[in-house]
A and B are shown apart, each in its own frame.
Chain A
Amino acid sequence: MQSMFRENDLGIAHKFARINWGLVLLIFCLAGIGIASLYSAAGGSFDPWASRQLVRFGVGVIGMFIIAMMDIRWWYKLTWPIYFIGIIMLVFVEAKGHVGMGAQRWIDLGFIHLQPSELMKIAVIMALARHFHGLSPEQVRRIQYLVVPALVVCAPVGLVLLQPDLGTSLMIVMAGAGMVFIAGAPLRLFIGSAILTMISVPIIWQFLRDYQKQRVMTFINPESDPLGAGYHITQSKIAIGSGGVEGKGFMQGTQSHLNFLPEKQTDFIFTLWVEEWGLFGGLFLLSLIFLIFAIGFGIAMRCRHTFGRYLALGMSLNFSLYVFINISMVMGLIPVVGAPLPLVSYGGTSMLAALIGFGLMMSCSIHRHSKVTR
């Protein structure tokens, strides 16, 4: 039986054959939806968004395959260096932001404005997967083994908060908490933290200055800013609702095209898609996402080493956080936080981050029988 032996050295061809082609197909479908929507958003033109998105996707997919082919043990060994490079990049943008007067969250690499905080999410998940790899369930239940995860999450969260980017830091916290949960930390820990948060929020609130309170309030309730986010959500809901079951047809979306949606190519791309393709298009997109979740789940379950299981499920979790936050935001379920829809929204870093995540997920799949030692 195959599982009786460990295969540590696979040939390229063998690896290639093991690529999860279903996942690749789904990724191409999602990106295709994105590019079609960008084409429509530009009024039937590849310029300025669709063409660039296509190039980025092409480059990203090649990167994804390379990442997928690389031995999972490599990734295991590279985890901490990657994590610390991520931290250094965050410190760098913070320092540069101070010099350049203003919140700068990205590093200009020429072809892409790289946001280290997006990549940091992946690094945090990798670091936690590595930390929990080989810990016995008894160890995970002990509090001293949760000190390192806490530090791993808190360091980037602190740096991202300084930017200041509350949305991304909350996402890192959620991804980190998810990893700790997956690794089997006791449930009372989560219940306890939830209670503690609920108690501490009103207390911290007392100590905030008025302008800080104001900022938090605007974050929680953007409708209080009639010129900003609240307006966008109203317009987004009208666009989605008016799409109806069948949609208005490709390139026929009136609301999005009339520029009622200022960020139609990035955060509000889902709105544009469902305005034109209706409920059918929307459910089709959600089904694609469901299949991606299912494949991620399958990869995690079939993987023979803890590192891979945690990593694969963690990447799936990370992807779903983006999806939920973005889509619930544009449908007016949660406050505006400014998160893109991975693979679909226009934007280099989010595309790159998503493809890296899937690359790692595939690597877990290809090397599911490898023996990863601590």
Chain B
Amino acid sequence: MYHDDYSEKLFSRRAFVIGGLQLCGLVILGVRLAWLQIAQGKRYKMLSDKNRINIKILPPPRGEIVDRFGVPLAVNNQTYRVLIIPEQTDNIEKSLRALQSVIYVEEEHIDRILKEASKTAKFIPLRIKEGLSWGDVARVEVRLPDLPGIFIDVGDIRSYPYRDATAHIVGYVRAASKEDLEDNDPVLRLPGFRIGKTGIEKVYDKEMRGRPGAAEVEVNVVGREVRELKRKDPLFGSRVTLSIDGELQRITQEVLSEHISASAVVMDAYSGAIYAMASYPAFDPNAFVRGLTKEEWAVISEDPTHPQTNKAVSGQYPPGSTFKMISALAGLEKGTITRDTLIFCPGHYEYGKSRYHCWKRGGHGYVNLEKALQESCDTFFYEMAVEVGINAIADMARRFGLGDTLGLELGGERSGLIPDEAWKKKTMGVSWYPGETIISSIGQGNVLTTPLQLAVMTARMVNGGIGVKPWITGYVGEEYLERRDWDKIDVNPKHLALVRSGMDRVVNNRKGTAYSSRIDIEGMEMGGKTGTSQVQRITAEQRRLGIKNEDLPWRQRHHALFVGYAPISDPRYVCAVVVEHGIGGSTAAAPIAKILLEQTQRRDPAGTQMQPEIIDKDKKESKTRLEDFSGQNNQELEKPSFTIPPKKPKMQGQSLMQDFAPAPAPTQKTVNKIEGIYND
């Protein structure tokens, strides 16, 4: 038998069960339909006839970005804007044209809105124009009956009070691009909603964005709100607290602006906190928020000094003489030199057939290490380096954070380059030759570093070999991101002390290369090292003719560098300054470092603790912004004026200490240090 009885019966039973379930399902659907249409029919009919239910999206206020003292670096200002809801008009273009007869609307806006309207859901309002004047608001309000679908509301616009001074750190927000919209967050489709495109705005975009709320409102046939049915308040985005000192940042930017192109970093020697990091020229991020015109964009994008680049992390320069400490430490570690080794400098060094010049034509005579650093004698390092070898120098450089990125959360870091024998074999396929060691020892040749790396190198030198890494974000909301637990690097503290003594003499010895830039205030003295790095070789011809570097075109002039720390007694702050084509480290870079380190010590950012966002549960739920018509709060961005604070006697620091709780002391050493500053 093909079908036996049993299987026949089994199939029938099961098929009946399936059929029964199908029937049940249909009955349930029918009952539900009847319930909706009969029992609830009246209610729904009323809802649909007299009033329509509309949904109003409540945009979340973006989290602010503040500096370590809570001073805002990025805030939300309110702006009047004119919007259109496509579903409330029969003809979008007609409405827009009608609006055009009332206020000035650029033709490109019209095109953009028509394009957007065809792509988004009809109930989502589209932004036509922002930053309306009072006059425009009044004109539109009066003509509103003739402008179907169009309405005016108050919205947030991001504003950066420090303008170009914080442009590279804070970044800016812009309207979401097509690729961003693929991330299906509905908030991206809100009118005028912007997302972080660069800097901290980009890194913590998600955290600062918050979550939109929504209100279900009944609107009558002409679109007027009758009442609110349901409401879900938006969630504020998190506030981001940076380690930056906004005022110090502004001062830094201001000081750098005396040159054509320059960058600087001020950092905590023990924690790695960045207090200021500037790159000049910069740009005004507020212009990016409102949208650049073609001309403005052309000016920025075609500027040969690259205003959009943060040179403090992505500018790579030969470190010049600021590299000599590394060479010295390598020599000390290998035992090639000691504190007392004397080398004679006749003004040049002969190796093979080549002659390597010291910067001082007549030579320095007999020099030891400290004096060689103090006067930046090249010959001392040429002779020592030949014996030490490039691999030992490169190894030492890497321990100090050179030659690789340091993991700053801001991104955009370049790795620089620390050449050695293996690198040359790999990239060029030929062997290293000793002449390269000679020029590498004074930070020339293939050696490349970024200003950030130089600051980290200096920090590790003056903090007793703690392997700090840079960071810039203290808190995201309540989340604590500060890092302090760094491992020690492998280096002899005695050698570090010797090098530091040399750096002290660079600034504070009458014959030091940066003596004219010393900080002449007791307890605030700085130490450091100048550097002047060649962009191109000085030819024998130029040497013979005595052509001065400042006579060359800007592009061919030397870079000016300075790395410094302060105070010399117990270093707390480090800084690195690079002036592109600034000709001389001692003339161009050291004076900047002097201002920065003096200002840093006066402001003493390390003496304050960053505060997390105090999350007030009531404040977190924002009131609707759309109803918030309370006066125009569109204040003119005030530009903080540049005034270097008056010299304060040291005791005034103590009143500062009462305002801000002292920093948690990571090590015994820093505790001593803080007391050292305030209690002596």
A residues in contact with B276, CB < 8 Å: none
Q: Would you call A240 and B37 a contact (CB within 8 A)?
A: yes
The smallest beta-carbon distance between A307 and chain B, in angstroms, is: 12
Q: Please give me the residue from chain B that is nearest to A226 by CB atom.
A: B214
Complex partner residue of B26 from A182, A227, A286, A316, CB under 8 angstroms: A286
B11 within 8 A of A: yes
Q: Would you call B47 and A242 a contact (CB within 8 A)?
A: yes
Q: Would you call B32 and A333 a contact (CB within 8 A)?
A: yes
Q: Would you call A234 and B216 a contact (CB within 8 A)?
A: yes
A residues in contact with B38, CB < 8 Å: 244-245, 279
Tell me, in angstroms, the Cα distance from A178 to B15 when the chains sit together: 10
Q: Please give me the residue from chain B that is nearest to A279 by CB atom.
A: B37
Residue picked from B4, B29, B45, most chain A C-beta under 10 Å: B29
Q: Which of A279-326 contact B (CB under 8 A)?
A: 279, 282-283, 286, 289-290, 293-294, 297, 300-301, 304-306, 309, 313, 316-317, 320, 323-324
Q: Would you call A262 and B121 a contact (CB within 8 A)?
A: yes
Q: Would you call B32 and A258 a contact (CB within 8 A)?
A: no
B residues in contact with A289, CB < 8 Å: 26
Q: Please give me the residue from chain B that is nearest to A244 by CB atom.
A: B41
Q: Would you call A316 and B22 a contact (CB within 8 A)?
A: yes
A254 within 8 A of B: yes
B106 within 8 A of A: no
Tell me, in angstroms, the Cα distance from A317 to B19 when the chains sit together: 9
Q: A178-B18, A245-B37, A297-B15 are in contact. Are A283 and B123 (CB under 8 A)?
A: no
Tell me, in angstroms, the Cα distance from A351 to B15 when the chains sit together: 26
Q: A241-B40, A282-B37 are in contact. Are A231 and B55 (CB under 8 A)?
A: yes
Tell me, in angstroms, the Cα distance from A289 to B22 when the chains sit together: 10
Q: Would you call B29 and A238 a contact (CB within 8 A)?
A: no
The smallest beta-carbon distance between B231 and chain A, in angstroms, is: 9
When each residue 408-452 of chain B gets 1 if its CB lies under 8 Å from chain A and 0 otherwise, what string results? Answer: 000000000000000000000000000000000000000000000
Q: Would you call B37 and A244 a contact (CB within 8 A)?
A: yes
Tell me, in angstroms, the Cα distance from A226 to B212 when the chains sit together: 9
Q: Which of A93-146 contact B (CB under 8 A)?
A: 102, 136-137
A residues in contact with B182, CB < 8 Å: 102
A328 within 8 A of B: yes
Q: Would you call B186 and A331 a contact (CB within 8 A)?
A: no
The smallest beta-carbon distance between B461 and chain A, in angstroms, is: 43
A239 within 8 A of B: yes
When each residue 1-33 of chain B gets 1 if its CB lies under 8 Å from chain A and 0 otherwise, what string results? Answer: 011101100111011011100110110111011
Residue picked from A136, A183, A227, A245, most chain B C-beta under 10 Å: A227
Tell me, in angstroms, the Cα distance from A179 to B90 when the chains sit together: 51
B residues in contact with A286, CB < 8 Å: 26, 29-30, 33
Residue picked from A225, A244, A304, most chain B C-beta under 10 Å: A244
Tell me, in angstroms, the Cα distance from A289 to B36 when the chains sit together: 20
Q: Would you call A300 and B30 a contact (CB within 8 A)?
A: no
Tell me, in angstroms, the Cα distance from A5 to B272 when the chains sit together: 92
Q: Would you call B7 and A137 a contact (CB within 8 A)?
A: yes
A-B contacts besides A241-B37, A258-B87, A289-B26, 9 pairs, CB < 8 Å? A231-B214, A237-B36, A237-B44, A240-B36, A255-B48, A297-B18, A316-B22, A331-B32, A333-B28
Q: Can you list 10 A-B pairs with a CB-CB distance of less than 8 A? A: A178-B18, A182-B15, A241-B44, A242-B44, A244-B45, A245-B41, A259-B87, A259-B122, A297-B19, A331-B29
